[in-house]
Structure 1
């Protein structure tokens, strides 16, 4: 069964947390797809992942570039899986109807938006009802994650 994790961004924004989680997935040998809410947001995340840390390189691309199937991390605003990812990240208002094709699905939602918190709760209930293992992770003031 798919693990469905909920990451509550309380202290640091998505742009600080996402690269760390992607790096951990790649260390495990997992391919990832990050689903954003719009093509503009995909472009912004693409730019950010090239520049977030001068000392790091996070191999990635978008589904609009050639050979998306070759990307270890693929950014998209659609719900398909062209790079055969084992882990799917859902950021902001992205929605995935069927999590069963993944080892792990990660919902990342911002503390500053009550509507997104409400949608995350709905997604939690739906994932539990579907029989998935669910877990909730929260940031501390240093940006570290703890399972609650």
Structure 2
């Protein structure tokens, strides 16, 4: 079964949390796909991942560029998995119909947005009903991740 993780963003924005989780996934030898909610968001994340840290490099590309299958991290708008990723990150309420092709599916949602929280609760119920292994992470007062469930 796929491990489905929920990251409840409260102290730090997605732009701070996502690169760290992508780096940890790449360190484990996993390819990643990040599904965004709009072309503007995908492109903003693309630009951000090039500049978020002067001391590191996060290799990535988008599905709007040639050869997406070559990207260790692919930013996309749909459910396709052209880079054979093992980990799928869902941001901006993005959804997939089938989590089973992945080792991990990571839902990242803004805890200050009631609509996003309600949607995450619904995704939790769906993943639980499908029999996936679930974990829930919340940021503490310092922005570190604490496992809550």
TM-score range relative to shorter protein? over 0.9
Partner residue in 2 for 1:8: 8
Partner residue in 1 for 2:144: 144
Q: CA RMSD in A?
A: 0.5
Q: Give the 5 Å matches for 1:1-148.
A: 1-148=1-148
Deviation beyond 2 Å, 4+ runs, structure 1: none
Distance in 2, Cα, partners of 1:110 & 1:94: 13
Aligned partner of residue 74 in structure 1, secondary structure: strand
Shift, 1:141, TM fit: 2.1
1:10-29: CA deviations, max 9, x gaps? 10000000000000000000
- Report the count of equivalent residues: 148
Structure 1 residue runs without a partner (length 5+): none
Please, what TM-score do these two structures have when normalized by structure 1? 0.99
Distance in 2, Cα, partners of 1:58 & 1:143: 21
Structure 2 residue runs without a partner (length 5+): none
Distance in 1, Cα, partners of 2:92 & 2:40: 13
1:3-59: CA deviations, max 9, x gaps? 000000010000000000000000000000000001111000000000001111000
Shift, 1:143, TM fit: 1.8
Shift, 1:111, TM fit: 1.0
Aligned partner of residue 16 in structure 1, secondary structure: helix
Distance in 2, Cα, partners of 1:30 & 1:143: 25
